[in-house]
Amino acid sequence: MKILVLGGDGYCGWPTSLHLSDAGHDVVIVDNFVRRQIDHELGVQSLTPVVGLTERLRAWRETGGRPVGLEVGDLLDWDFVAGLVERHRPEAVVHFAEQRAAPYSMISRGHAIYTQHNNVIGNLNVLFAINEFAPDCHLVKLGTMGEYGTPNIDIEEGFIEIEHNGRKDTLPYPKQPGSWYHLSKVHDSHNIMFACKIWGMRATDLNQGVVYGTVTPQTERNERLVNRFDYDEVFGTVLNRFCIQAAIGHPLTVYGEGGQTRGFLDIRDTVRCIELAIENPAERGEFRVFNQFTEKFSVRQLAGMVSDAAAKLGVETRIEKQPNPRVESEEHYYNAKHTRLLDLGLEPHYLSDALLDSLLNIAVKHRGRADLDAVNPRVDWRTGRRSLLEEVDEPAYPSTL
């Protein structure tokens, strides 16, 4: 198939692009490199050294990979998006190209507005371009399990059957997002569902859990193909943060009581889930939702697992609680369904198998690049400010590049 991977230079987009290329698809990466600009804004860097995208693509070709195309531009630029879809007439569009960090959206008013404007308007441009120039194209959009929040009932896959005053209906599952970022994803989901209803578009919304790992069979072929390892308090996941803390001899810092529970999956499963969605497309007019995760863990459980795994490497750790900078339930019910991708053939990788041979070893190998100040929480969700800074610079990324 001809596939556009929007945000193909990012953490999920890069290994997905290589995976789809390796599977024989004609892949074109679309990116504006804003994620790399945000590293400069925050004064952080990936723990793993990541080369430029052109160098990445050159390394991919040198290892025998199929050529991957590149289009540089911004989804907020309608002329660019329209021309992109009109030129390529893709059979599938994989959409990763959004600001993806909840803490980033909570830094300030400007960061919240940037996140919502970038994500919602960019996604709308993609919807209109597909409808106008490639109406049979299948949109595979990365959503988030965070759209659901932590309700005190089971979380279904996208929809729930409701009985009210003697009548029944199947409705979108109620959303309780916990950040301006997660709210932008809710808006995306509603807009995509509406596009399917009025235009007959075909779309799959992948509500993904927390992803871990850097290695796929493709990225390990050459060191220049390595994926990002974000560990900072804004873009780093709790699991990455624990791994780098263990590697540098810092206590594993648990926010609050540590009962916060979420779904998790290996990056190898992320790329496979995308492939499965593409190989089994939605019907015309169908808006379907897959909950994309394989296991669930609490923050306390993760800290214990990392501590035990580190001990096997001869690394001593200790776990400390610290005040939670986020506004979230620290003890809650969490039972989310996630069967539809398994039914399509997903064979999961599990966290216990990945820790020693991947995450901790990578953290230890590159710990000399770690910045401890970047790990400590500075974004206060209650005030909308990033502490330790006299002033917060608002993001000023151009709408076109």
Kindly state whether residue 33 falls inside one of the protein's structural domains.
yes
48 neighbors 366 (Cβ within 8 angstroms): yes
Structural domain includes residue 391: no
The tokens describing 321, both together, are 């609680």
Per the domain annotation, does 393 fall within a domain?
no
- Tokens 């003890």 map to which residue? 331
Domain that holds residue 24: 2-386
- Which residue in the list 114, 148, 173, 181 is annotated as catalytic? 181
Quote the pLDDT of residue 391: 54
Q: Identify the CATH number of the domain in which residue 366 sits.
A: 3.40.50.720
Q: Is 204 a catalytic residue?
A: no
pLDDT band at 384 (very low <50, low <70, confident <90, very high): confident
Q: Is the pLDDT of residue 392 over 60?
A: no
Quick check: is 185 catalytic?
A: yes
The mean pLDDT of 268-292, rounded to a whole number, is: 98
What digits encode the pLDDT tens for the residues 289-347? 999 999 999 999 999 999 999 999 899 999 999 999 999 999 999 999 999 999 999 99
Whether 392 is in a domain gets the answer no
Examine residue 208 and state whether it is found in any structural domain, yes or no. yes
Q: Is 118 in a helix, a strand, or coil?
A: helix
- pLDDT number for residue 125: 98
Tell me if 141 sits within 8 A of 203, measured CB to CB: yes
pLDDT in tens, 100-116: 999 999 999 999 999 99
pLDDT at residue 389, as a whole number: 47
Which pLDDT score, from 0 to 100, does residue 398 have?
A: 55
Q: What is the pLDDT of residue 199?
A: 98
For the chain, how far is it from start to end, CA to CA, in angstroms?
Answer: 28
Known active-site residue 383? no
What is the structure's pLDDT at 393?
66
Task: Give the residue among 112, 108, 114 at the shortest CA–CA distance from 385.
Answer: 108
pLDDT exceeds 70 at position 390: no
pLDDT at position 355 over 90: no
248: how many CB neighbours lie within 10 A of its CB? 17
- Specify the number of domains making up the chain: 1
Within the chain, what is the greatest distance between any pair of CA atoms? 64
- β-bridge mates for residue 262, sequence order: 297
pLDDT in tens, 128-172: 999 999 999 999 999 999 999 999 999 999 999 999 999 999 999
Structure tokens at 349: 């990788």
List, for residues 54-96, the tens digit of each pLDDT value. Answer: 999 999 999 999 999 999 999 999 999 999 999 999 999 999 9
**Alpha-carbon distance 276 to 66, whole Å?**
20
pLDDT by residue (tens digit) across 212-252? 999 999 999 999 999 999 999 999 999 999 999 999 999 99
The residue-averaged pLDDT of 195-199 equals: 98
Which pLDDT belongs to residue 399? 47
What's the rounded Cα separation, in Å, for the pair 323 and 255? 6
- Among candidate residues 115, 173, 185, 334, the one labeled active-site is 185
Active-site residue (options: 144, 216, 219, 317): 144
The verdict on residue 361 lying in a domain is yes
On whether residue 26 sits in a domain, the answer given is yes
Give the mean pLDDT of 44-53: 98
Mean pLDDT value across the chain = 95
Confidence (pTM): 0.96
CA 237/CA 107 separation, integer angstroms: 17
